[in-house]
Amino acid sequence: MRSATAISHEVDDVFLAARELADSIKKQLVLQQHSLGLIFCDADTDGAALTGELHALLGMEIAGMTTLAALSPQGRHEAAIVLTVLTADDCLFSPGASASLKADDFQDRIARTYQATIPQGGDKGPGVILTFCPFGLSFSGDHYPAVLSRVANNAPVMGGVASDDYDYERARVFLSGKEYQDAMVLVSLWGNVRPVFAIRHVTSRFAERIRRVTEAENNIVRKVGEETFVEYLQGFGLKTDVDDPLLAFNSYPMMLRQGDGDETPIMRHISGLNRADGSGSFVGDVPVGAQANICMINKADIVAACRESMLTLLNEGRAHSDYAYSTILCISCCGRSMILSGDAGEEGRILAEMLPEGLTLGGAYCLGEICPTRYKNGLATNRFHNCSIIFCML
């Protein structure tokens, strides 16, 4: 597989942007038998027109989504468009878009979308599934990796939930001239695909009141240990009488350990508090029996986790010396950007600094990340994350 990345700041003129992007790709890359474009763009961009024009100019499917900010080999970009093109003779890129997921049978619709991307002879399963998910639906983002894991025999899933600039109304996903606010776009990759992954969220700052979740349903937690969730938070000395819990607790997500201990923990942002019954709601599901702890995240933790995860990814790639990697896909949480605040470009600067020569990079800031917490012997434990930075190298 070979790749190239192009950037345009022509957000208002998508036809000019498409020409710039296509010309840049053609100068960098000789297209092989199969190709795919991945696009991350500002929420003000007409993504349907942009991806349709790129589809015509480059002759390939273009999948992607809107983002708070995009990432490239040059760092972080706001009000910009980043296009990564993958091309190969020994890989097949098979995209699909779901029907509206605002339906009771949304799980079946997700499953059918993946099944429609299975090529003839695809019995062994895909090397990886890339996902671009809609924001603001009635169900938890945990359903995306759970359904895809079930129907794709635990193939690894990598992607995120579309975002905007905290407007929460303009997030969209795209596929070759069409845009969706309530549908999912995915691409399954087949053939000579050997992905490696890395994920980090926080490195050292834990409050150390580890308790098991004893009463919960979906994303609502009623009790942790013997305490209500509100009492559990108050035990850390945290003020719970707040108007906007999502904002107030952005730097205090809950870490959950589950499984057999080898699995990377997941993070959950607190989205609401019910002081009448003491429960809390989360951006993502919280299973009964998981070990819970509150983390305290600052800018230094964000920077350290970014470096650590990128280094882990590169070392993992070097361990596969018989395979030539070409590109890195990166998804970071919008909450991390919020914590960085005036230093929001720091993750992008780190990635640009650490990116080895010969590798491209494309990425986005999302409202939820999807990545394996464990991947071994072709089988992945795929999870939905908050407050994390995730990587996939192809």
Q: Is 109 helix (H, G, I), strand (E, B) or coil?
A: helix
Q: Is the pLDDT of residue 380 over 70?
A: yes
Contact (CB, 8 A) for 40 and 65 = yes
pLDDT band per the 50, 70, 90 thresholds, residue 41? very high
**Which letter does DSSP use for residue 237 in this model?**
T
Task: Specify the pTM.
Answer: 0.95
| Tokens coding 351 | 């990635």
Q: Distance (Å, rounded) from C-alpha 348 to C-alpha 364?
A: 10
Q: Is the dihedral of CA 350, 352, 354, 359 positive or negative?
A: positive
Name residue 254's beta-bridge partners.
268, 294
**Which letter does DSSP use for residue 242 in this model?**
-
Q: Is the pLDDT of residue 206 over 80?
A: no
pLDDT band per the 50, 70, 90 thresholds, residue 260? low
Q: What share of the chain is helix, strand, coil (3-state, %, to 5)?
A: 25, 35, 40
| Tokens coding 367 | 């409202």
pLDDT in tens, 296-320: 888 999 999 999 999 999 999 999 9
Q: Is the pLDDT of residue 258 over 80?
A: yes
| Tokens coding 370 | 């999807």
pLDDT number for residue 30 = 96
Query: For all residues of the chain together, what is the average pLDDT?
Result: 94
Average pLDDT value for residue range 227-231: 96
What is the Cα 303 distance to its own chain's centre? 18
| Tokens coding 302 | 């964000």
- Taking alpha carbons only, the member of 6, 226, 229, 193 closest to residue 94 is 193
pLDDT number for residue 261 = 66
pLDDT in tens, 70-112: 999 999 999 999 999 999 999 999 999 999 999 999 999 999 9
pLDDT number for residue 201 = 85
pLDDT in tens, 154-169: 999 999 999 999 888 9
Q: Is the pLDDT of residue 205 over 70?
A: no
Average pLDDT value for residue range 220-232: 96
pLDDT number for residue 252 = 92
Q: Distance (Å, rounded) from C-alpha 221 to C-alpha 286?
A: 7
pLDDT band per the 50, 70, 90 thresholds, residue 209? confident
pLDDT number for residue 124 = 85
pLDDT number for residue 264 = 85
pLDDT in tens, 309-356: 999 999 999 999 899 999 999 999 999 999 999 999 999 999 999 999
Q: Distance (Å, rounded) from C-alpha 109 to C-alpha 119?
A: 18
